[in-house]
């Protein structure tokens, strides 16, 4: 067994089950309403990671398969974000903020040569950036629409004062939607002091020096800030433009 790897076996299974049950039990006792979802998410994660582990070796050997795998991650992220924001068919627009944040950042990282054009390098970087863009899009889109619903009177007042529709929506929604960046900002501010995120630990366990691991993590954190900032901005603009709504007719 590799001394840096978590050993597979009954101990790992028991710990995972215990942690999932703890989370679900706390959610149930606190009446948070997410106990079942905690267990479902845990089981899905186990099944999905098992499936990915079985196919990833083949994917990483081919740039074409790597590109398809990244496209699959992007598609799943877009659908997930759409469902989190709205039940309307306008949720399909959630794919736009994710792509708007991901494409320029990933192109810059790969084009600069900082990350080699190999599957084993592209997949984790793309996955981290897609995940960040997905979370930022979901949070900002939901918060913008929630704020627009609860403060609809202020929106109508802004229109009465002569604001354009876009300006009125942004006046109401933008400050709340910007809170979607708080997790990324906090993670960046406290890295090394409170947390040692996955990229740092992964590179370190892979045998690189602590300085190299720190450089990799810094690249990921700053890229995430860029990706999520763009995603939040585009998501709020889509709400302001009436593209992302909660109306059943999608208009």
Q: What is the 3-state secondary structure (H, E, C) of 80-118?
A: HHHHHHCCCHHHHHHHHHHHHHHHHHHHHHHHCCCCCCC
Radius of gyration of the CA atoms of the chain, in A: 20
> What pLDDT was estimated at residue 223?
92
Whether 129 has a pLDDT exceeding 90, the answer reads: yes
What integer pLDDT is reported at residue 138 of this predicted model? 94
Residue with the bigger pLDDT between 144 and 209: it is: 144
> Bigger pLDDT: 4 or 135?
135
Nearest to 227 by CA among 63, 67, 105: 105
Q: Which residues contact 81 (CB under 8 A, 6 or more apart)?
A: 91, 94, 95, 98, 134, 137, 138, 141
> Residue 9 has which token pair?
């076996």
Give the pLDDT band (50/70/90) at residue 61.
Answer: confident
Whether the predicted pLDDT of 170 surpasses 50 = yes
Res. 204 pLDDT band, cuts 50 70 90: low
Of 31-40, 66-75, 126-135, 191-200, the poorest mean pLDDT is in 191-200
- Does residue 67 have a pLDDT over 60? yes
- Residue 20 CA: distances (Å) to CA of 27, 41, 94, 168: 11, 9, 30, 44
- The answer to whether the beta carbons of residues 169 and 240 sit under 8 Å apart is yes
Average pLDDT over residues 130-139: 94
Q: Considering the chain, what percentage of its residues have pLDDT values greater than 90?
A: 37
pTM of the full predicted structure? 0.79
What average pLDDT score do residues 147-175 get?
Answer: 84
In the numeric block, which tokens belong to residue 139?
């949070």
- Does 2 or 124 have the greater pLDDT score? 124
pLDDT at residue 215 greater than cutoff 50: yes
Confidence (pLDDT) at 134: 95
pLDDT at 100 over 90: yes
pLDDT value at position 1?
Answer: 44
Domain borders along the chain are 1-58, 61-240
Answer whether residue 109 shows pLDDT above 80: yes
pLDDT band at 198 (very low <50, low <70, confident <90, very high): low
- Mean pLDDT, residues 73-85: 94
Q: What is the pLDDT, as a whole number, of residue 203? A: 65
Residue labelled with tokens 């079985």:
54
CA atoms within 13 A on the CB side of 72: 10
Q: Confidence class of residue 75 from pLDDT cuts 50, 70 and 90?
A: very high
pLDDT at 2 over 80: no
b/e burial code for range 69-79 (CB count within 10 A of at least 16 → b)? bbeebbeebbe
Mean pLDDT of all residues in 49-78: 86
């Amino acid at each position: 067994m590799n001394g840096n790897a978590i050993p597979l076996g009954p101990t790992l299974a028991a710990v995972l089950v215990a942690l999932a049950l703890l989370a679900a039990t706390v959610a149930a006792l606190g009446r948070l309403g997410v106990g079942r979802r905690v267990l479902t998410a845990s089981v899905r994660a186990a099944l999905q990671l098992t499936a990915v582990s079985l196919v990833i070796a083949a994917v990483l050997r081919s740039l074409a398969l790597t590109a398809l795998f990244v496209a699959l991650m992007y598609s799943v992220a877009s659908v997930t974000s759409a469902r989190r924001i709205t039940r309307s068919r306008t949720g399909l627009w959630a794919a736009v903020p994710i792509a708007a944040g991901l494409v320029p950042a990933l192109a810059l990282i790969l084009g600069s040569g900082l990350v080699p054009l190999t599957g084993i390098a592209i997949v984790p970087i793309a996955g981290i950036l897609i995940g960040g863009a997905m979370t930022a899009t979901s949070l900002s889109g939901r918060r913008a629409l929630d704020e627009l619903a609860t403060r609809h009177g202020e929106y109508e007042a802004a229109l009465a004062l002569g604001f354009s529709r876009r300006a009125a929506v942004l006046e109401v929604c933008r400050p709340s939607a910007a809170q979607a960046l708080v997790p990324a900002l906090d993670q960046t501010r406290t890295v090394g002091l409170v947390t040692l995120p996955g990229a740092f630990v992964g590179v370190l366990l892979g045998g690189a020096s602590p300085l190299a691991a720190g450089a990799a993590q810094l690249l990921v954190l700053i890229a995430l800030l860029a990706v999520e900032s763009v995603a939040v901005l585009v998501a709020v603009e889509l709400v302001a433009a009436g593209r992302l709504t909660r109306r059943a007719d999608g208009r």
